[in-house]
Structure 1
Amino acid sequence: MNAAVPLIRLRGVTKTYGQGATAFQALRGVDLEVCAGDFVAIMGPSGSGKSTAMNVLGLLDTPSSGEYRFLDVPVQTLARDERARLRRRYFGFVFQGFHLLPRTTAQENVELPLVYRGERAAERHRAARAALADVGLTGWEHHTPAELSGGQQQRVAIARAIVTQPRVLLADEPTGNLDSRRSHEIMALIRQLNEQRGITVLMVTHEAEIAAYARRVLHFRDGVIEREEAPPPALAPAEGTVTEREGG
């Protein structure tokens, strides 16, 4: 790929739900470029279009009009199964609610994306253990979510998102269920993945303190990007490190 070509490019992207008098235009012509290795936070009030934009960016939804190019591929021209393959290969997802299988160990939860890709068991086990080590959970591989704290559960969710070595990590309110200290630890971990691994991060948050970990902050309102700003420096975690065995 030409280094001058952005990893992600939106041109005049719209998204409309419903038809006729009940139609709602969630996106009204969004232009956006994201380069490889960027860290972008998306903010805005309820109904601003930020969640719809994330769904489009993550190939979970398709634009009603406009152009979305990923790795210079026009995504809107791909069939559903082609978009799914692109998503499985290049994207990892982290959600506010963790979305872990309750009676499944941390390692088994992390292995799930590799199961869907048809990886052999030995390779799945190796990759999952390595991903858990990357998020500071060595020794916790065989614990179920009920045996883990909220911070540890989110670390498992991040390990599951990065086990496929994605180019892009999409995080939707990744600290929404965590206290302040654990929130900063999780954000320090995400920033570490961005800076040391070069993973491009796109994150929705309603907290300016969390958005401050990003390099760019986009403010959505009424379906468009109202403004972009560079955030002030983020606060460091209150104590401990992001790789401590207890994991938070």
Structure 2
Amino acid sequence: MSDAAPQASGSVPLIRLRNIVKVYGEGGLAFKALKGFDLDIEQGDFVAIMGPSGSGKSTAMNTLGCLDRPTSGEYLFKGVHVEDLDRDERARLRRRYFGFVFQGFHLLPRTTAQENVELPLLYRGETNAARREAAAKALEAVGLKGWEHHTPAELSGGQQQRVAIARAIVSNPVVLLADEPTGNLDTQRSEEIMELLWKLNSEQGITVLMVTHEPEMAAYARRIVRFKDGLLDSDTRNEPFMLRRAARSAPVQPQEGH
């Protein structure tokens, strides 16, 4: 697969999964983590992926992020069959179109926030000046302007996760995949991170796919997908918490004649 953008045609969704199966091991030791499911994701959606431990949600997330290849089934990204790509081609696809945020922040401990955020651009071969400018903008976007030269040890947990999000968005991804992004944070920091993800989705149009076991975090999503026993158990639209909060705080308009 070249670095040229895949071309979508007509109303093809951004991501389309059909009869996705994932089997680990062989013979009598084989374990079917995913037993065949279909899923469409439109550009600009915000999807929370939920389910109990062992339900298949993490395997589904790894498949969506092109980190793992399905045993069988079709995965189309912008109309391109991802299941037919080799390891290097999938890596180029991830590098160009995907950003990743994990429960553990995965920051390099002895490098600054700025340098951590620059890493994806370093792998892409960007110039020093381009990396610095893009990293500064990404840190500002997540509310960390002025913290560029602090190391992770000098940042709170919430700030470290913001650096991780800045690193994920510095290359302008189409899709942001977040795996339990608030799992290591307290309630206040968790809410701040979820509001940031909502802002990236609603203002920048980044498609957000988030694994979470917390209903309070899933409430920020536009859609909630639940897995159970390796199958897609439910797929429902959701009125996001941020929209509900905005509606509650909107001033009441006086009625005519009063």
Moved over 4 A (4+): none
Matched, 1:131 2:124: no
Q: CA deviation at 1:52?
A: 0.2
Q: Based on CA coordinates, which of the two structures has the bigger radius of gyration?
A: 2
Please give the per-residue CA displacement for 1:102-141, whole angstroms capped at 9, x wherever unaligned. 0000000000000110111110000000000000000000
Paired position in structure 1 for 2:235: 228
Paired position in structure 2 for 1:79: 86
Q: Which runs of 5+ in 2 are unaligned?
A: 1-7, 246-258
Determine helix, strand or coil for the equivalent of 2:37: strand
Count of residue pairs brought into register by the alignment = 236
Paired position in structure 2 for 1:172: 179
Q: Which runs of 5+ in 1 are unaligned?
A: 237-248
**TM-score, length-scaled by structure 1:** 0.93
Determine helix, strand or coil for the equivalent of 1:125: helix
**CA separation of 1:184 and 1:79: change in aligned 2, threshold 3 A:** same
Determine helix, strand or coil for the equivalent of 1:30: coil
Measured on the aligned residues, the alpha-carbon RMSD in Å equals: 1.0
Determine helix, strand or coil for the equivalent of 1:98: coil
Give runs of aligned pairs for residues 203-218 of structure 1, distance below 5 A: 203-218=210-225
Bigger drift between 161-170 and 223-232 goes to 223-232
Give runs of aligned pairs for residues 177-188 of structure 1, distance below 5 A: 177-188=184-195
% same residue? 70
Determine helix, strand or coil for the equivalent of 1:115: helix
Paired position in structure 2 for 1:107: 114
**CA separation of 1:155 and 1:3: change in aligned 2, threshold 3 A:** farther
Q: CA deviation at 1:82?
A: 0.7
Paired position in structure 2 for 1:44: 51
Paired position in structure 2 for 1:200: 207
**TM-score, length-scaled by structure 2:** 0.90
Contact persistence 1:210–1:234 (CA under 8 A): no
Determine helix, strand or coil for the equivalent of 2:192: helix
Q: CA deviation at 1:61?
A: 0.2
